[in-house]
């Protein structure tokens, strides 16, 4: 992003996590509240990135393995039953994958919701603070 920019920049989806990274703009007079917000967002971004990169890495490998297994079975079946059987195989794999990772997913869910609420709440506080600051400046200008 250009150096003179005054806002955050969001990039293309990461190839591992599919999440879009954000480069945060640090204003020269960043208040403590704004810094907390920025740090919360960075932390959430890092945590999300970790989870999804790991999750997406695990998924295709096991998927391919299961596909090969399914293909092996496919050969033995009549053409009429081919699709159904591979769908069932897929279902078993997906069910397996989901149940194995359920605890992890739930934990991530909780973390993500916490991050999300905290970030949004901080954003609200920062917006309010900026609005009050702007009003105070206007008052000062009027008085002068």
Q: Is 40 in the site for other proteins (CB under 8 A)?
A: no
Q: Which is nearer to other proteins, 113 or 137 (CB)?
A: 113
Q: How far is the CB of 142 from other proteins (least distance, A)?
A: 27
Burial 54-89 (b: 16+ CB within 10 A, else e): ebeeeeeeeeeebbeebeeebeeeeeeeeeeebeeb
Q: Which of 42, 113, 114, 133 binds other proteins (CB under 8 A)?
A: 113
Here the tokens at position 116 are 């999300």
Q: Which of 18, 31, 42, 107 binds other proteins (CB under 8 A)?
A: 18
Q: Is 53 in the site for other proteins (CB under 8 A)?
A: no
Q: How far is the CB of 31 from other proteins (least distance, A)?
A: 17
Q: Is 33 in the site for other proteins (CB under 8 A)?
A: no
Token pair 């999804």: residue: 52
Distance CA 38, CA 42 (A): 6
Distance CA 25, CA 23 (A): 7
CA 48, 53, 58 angle in degrees (round to 5)?
Answer: 130
Q: Which stretch binds other proteins (CB under 8 A): 28-36, 69-77, 111-119, 135-143?
A: 111-119
Token pair 């599919």: residue: 18
What is the contact surface with other proteins in residues (CB under 8 A)?
Answer: 1-5, 7-13, 17-20, 22-23, 48, 51-52, 55-56, 59, 63, 83-84, 87-88, 90-91, 94-95, 97-98, 101-102, 105-106, 109, 112-113, 116, 119-120, 123-124, 127
């Amino acid at each position: 992003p250009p150096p003179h920019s005054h806002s955050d920049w969001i990039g293309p989806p990461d190839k591992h996590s599919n999440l879009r990274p954000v480069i945060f703009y640090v204003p020269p007079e960043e208040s403590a509240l704004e810094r907390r917000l920025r740090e919360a967002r960075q932390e959430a971004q890092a945590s999300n990135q970790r989870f999804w990169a790991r999750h997406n890495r695990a998924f295709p490998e096991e998927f391919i393995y299961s596909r090969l297994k399914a293909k092996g079975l496919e050969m033995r079946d009549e053409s009429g039953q081919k699709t159904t059987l591979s769908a069932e195989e897929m279902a078993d794999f997906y069910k397996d994958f989901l149940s194995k990772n359920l605890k992890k997913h739930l934990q991530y869910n909780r973390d993500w919701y916490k991050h999300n609420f905290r970030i949004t709440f901080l954003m609200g506080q920062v917006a309010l603070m900026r609005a009050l600051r702007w009003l105070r400046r206007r008052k000062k200008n009027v008085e002068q």
